Amino acid sequence: MIGLEHLVKNYGRKEVLRDLSIFADAGEITMLVGPNGAGKTTTVKVLAGLIRPNGGSARVQSFDVIHDRIKAQRAISYLPQRPDFHPRLSCLEILRFYARLRGLPDSRCHAMLDLAGLRECASVRSGELSGGTRQRLGLALLLLPDAPVLLLDEPGLSLDPAWRKRLQDTLRLEAERGKTILLTTHLVAEWNNVAHHCLLCRDGKIERELDPNNLPADFDIFESESATPIKMNHECCTIAL
């Protein structure tokens, strides 16, 4: 279970999250969609215990992410948008390193290599991997500890269509096993008919829930309804993004 209530996060004077609330249940995939800069990555990083919010509460399972951060992190497995590894370590060495941290057997590492299609890359250094293969190594690490809560930030960006489909199928199976899954994406059409719930994040808050089985149309309708013309005058205007 994931629970975020009235979350606020500022970077200096910039308000990134504004009274954001999200609830995600076990056995379900909850998807957070929206444009770049909407606050999706910040939300996931708060849940992962990587940054502290300025206000509100965040819970994973029964643990407060702020006050019981270590206990909350033990229940989490997190795949960042751009996973980074020591370039001189091989795929198997990286998996073994994290397996030791979690107290897992070596057999688990080999099972994850197979799951991510990395058996032939076991001895290849991570610095030599393509972007898509590195993302698959990230997927192997995500599933390595069999954590009850999975957090994924833009997981399909570097994957080709076949592997993106395999990732989606894998997440469905993990949800059926009772895991709580929260993922972010701005590639709305490519994640249609995957999640149980889909929340539209915009300007640091949840605007509304979208139909997860009709995302392209539902998102386009919202965009057309929310679009407002920019009024111009004769002075020079600068738009800060």
Helices (H) and strands (E) in the chain, counts: 7, 10
71-94 tens-digit pLDDT:
999 999 999 998 999 999 999 999
Type of residue numbered 205 = K
pLDDT tens digits for range 15-71: 999 999 999 999 999 999 988 889 999 999 999 999 999 999 999 998 999 999 999
Say which CATH number the domain at 48 has: 3.40.50.300
Q: Are residues 173 and 218 in the same domain?
A: yes
Q: Give the percent of the chain with pLDDT over 70.
A: 90
Average confidence (pLDDT) over 97-105:
95
208 and 175 part of one domain: yes
pLDDT tens-digit map of 168-183: 999 999 999 999 999 9
Same-domain status, 131 and 165 = no
Boundary (domain end) residue, out of 125, 145, 165: 145
Burial of 15: CB neighbours in 10 Å, binned 0-12, 13-18, 19+: middle
Look at residue 218 in the predicted model and tell me its pLDDT: 75
The CA distances from residue 52 to 45, 138, 169, in Å, are 9, 24, 32
- Domain count within the chain: 2
Shared domain for 66 and 127, answered yes or no, is no
Q: Residue 236: which pLDDT band, with cuts at 50, 70 and 90?
A: very low
pLDDT score of 46? 97
> 12 and 129 in one domain?
no
Whole domain around residue 127: which residue ranges? 84-145
Secondary structure (3-state) at 180: strand
Phi, psi torsion values for 90, nearest 5 degrees: -80, 170
Residue 221 has pLDDT above 70, yes or no: no
